[in-house]
Structure 1
Amino acid sequence: MSETSGTTHRILSVLRLLAETAGTLSVKDVSQSLALPMSTSHRMLDMLMEAGFVEKDTARRRYGIGMEYFRIANLVAQNPVVAATLQPALDELTRRTGESSVLSIYLPADRAMTFVAKSDSPDSLRFEIPLFGQTSLVWGATGLAILAFLPKAAQDAVFEQAAPSPVSGKVLSRKEFDARIAKVARDGIAVSESEKLSDSVGIAAPLRGGPDRVIGSVGLTIPRYRYDRTKAALYAELLGRAATGIAGRGTLLRAAP
């Protein structure tokens, strides 16, 4: 990695850490979270502060999100692609199924995914899905729908950093890991039960950016007591249509890494 690309990677890591932290950070917090020297962490924060992406509480020696970072984040959130393409597709999926739908995007640098849009079920008994946090590809249908269509080298990297299920604590053997992704690749759809959320069923289809490129997934999250297995084929068909429609119209997604 060149010095320039290394600096860029560290700057982006600091920005991500700030976005995912509730509150402010000290130089020590950044250093420990990102395994960076204190001097490097201080320099990264100073660079971001000069650009307006970070603000400093001088009295407490802590750093938080700056107004320029906040401005750009809001511009992205209001991007017309989300308003005109992504959200209506999810709203229609939820209208047809009565269940919460989500759109996830693959984060190749971290071998992870993030939820970027959702449409909540009208039923009061539903799962609340937080947006924009990093989530593992190993557990849950939305992650599996991405993982199964990644190159083998990427799948290997995901397995090496795989954590136990957040619900059951189960750890997958390599044989189990391979069998899971082989089934999804064969079926073209991923189904999971209580892997990422207790008492839930997840169903997801891959979101493709081309014939050999997966960029995310579209999924449904359903309370297990409400899941009707006789509708599995209908759910799969609707998810496939939604994924195709989003990929076909979403210029933002076609540009995703």
Structure 2
Amino acid sequence: MSDSPRGSALRLIFLLKTIASGPHHFLLAELAESTKLPKSTLHRLLQNLVQTGLVERGRGQSYRPGRELYLLASQLVSRFDLARSAQPFLHALVEKWQETAVVCAYSPADHLATILRTVQTDHPLRFAVEQGSRFELAWGALGRSMLAFLSSGEVEAILREVKTGPLSGKPRPRREEMQDILEEIRRDGYARYFDGGFDIAGVAAPIFGADDEVLGCIGMTMPSSRFQPDLEDEQARSVREAASKLSEMARICYS
């Protein structure tokens, strides 16, 4: 867990996010350990959340996410649930190409992406993708397919933060080389990635919402040893079509 924020408002938001991603029942001491917040501060914040129904008292001294929190989440999800909406497209990609398909969401707050849903290929030789994991946008087809379509300010901020690759430990490409890579992605409408040293390859395309903001991406990952350059165009077309349909659905929901 990263250092806890300062200020009541930020701590309250931080606490809600921790509760939403944690176990269904929790004790004050357990929450203090995971958030690194003083118990006195947590107790005060929890009382505010209990009063609003966002947190409820459980058995004994335990707490649990409140029904009002579930209601808020369901109201947002009912508008457009990217993971659920992408599910049939992921299965279609796996059925057609026999490669693992992935959908990711972009978080502008911390410039990271989250793997929302994966559908694994049955092929015994495959690249494992962990659902729920977070990653930087400067690496791989998934990350770069989103990075290329962010504002110049966001791209600059992300490139300043990123120094070395999470798998290789190699420094990221020089700024001029990255700009060329991103320009090619914008031109083609998808990103490709190939690293024979770590046996990983993939293709991915961005998903847009209202006002063309980047919501995430959809793509396929595979061992580089099974990547076939002569199939890249067709695979790219498949992921671009899936991304386009998901973007259309999102724009309708957010309009």
* Fold conserved between structures, TM > 0.5: yes
* Stretch deviating more after TM superposition (44-53 or 110-119): 44-53
- Answer yes or no: is 1:142 the counterpart of 2:142: yes
**Structure 1 portions without partners, runs of 5+:** 1-5
* Stretch deviating more after TM superposition (220-229 or 70-79): 70-79
Query: Which residue number corresponds to residue 203 of structure 1?
Result: 203
- Answer yes or no: is 1:27 the counterpart of 2:32: yes
Are the aligned partners of 1:145 and 1:217 in contact in 2 as well (CA < 8 Å)? yes
TM-score (norm 1): 0.75
Query: Which residue number corresponds to residue 255 of structure 1?
Result: 254
Are the aligned partners of 1:207 and 1:216 in contact in 2 as well (CA < 8 Å)? yes
CA RMSD of aligned residues (A): 3.8
Give the Cα separation in 2 of the matches to 1:57 and 1:171: 51
How do 1:44-55 residues align onto structure 2 when only pairs under 5 Å count? 44-48=45-49, 51=53, 53=55
Are the aligned partners of 1:106 and 1:216 in contact in 2 as well (CA < 8 Å)? yes
Are the aligned partners of 1:81 and 1:251 in contact in 2 as well (CA < 8 Å)? no
Are the aligned partners of 1:28 and 1:38 in contact in 2 as well (CA < 8 Å)? no
Query: Which residue number corresponds to residue 97 of structure 2?
Result: 97
Give the Cα separation in 1 of the matches to 2:222 and 2:177: 24
Give the Cα separation in 1 of the matches to 2:214 and 2:169: 28
Query: Which residue number corresponds to residue 242 of structure 2?
Result: 242
How far is the alpha carbon of 1:168 from its aligned partner? 0.7
Are the aligned partners of 1:106 and 1:112 in contact in 2 as well (CA < 8 Å)? yes
**Structure 2 portions without partners, runs of 5+:** 1-6
- Answer yes or no: is 1:114 the counterpart of 2:114: yes
CA distance 1:148–1:38, shift in 2 (3 Å): farther
How do 1:104-183 residues align onto structure 2 when only pairs under 5 Å count? 104-172=104-172, 173-183=174-184
- The count of residues paired between Structure 1 and Structure 2 equals 242
Q: Secondary structure at the match of 2:36?
A: helix
Give the Cα separation in 2 of the matches to 1:19 and 1:174: 38
Give the Cα separation in 2 of the matches to 1:194 and 1:41: 46
CA distance 1:78–1:189, shift in 2 (3 Å): closer
Q: What amino acid sits opposite 1:139 in the alignment? A: W
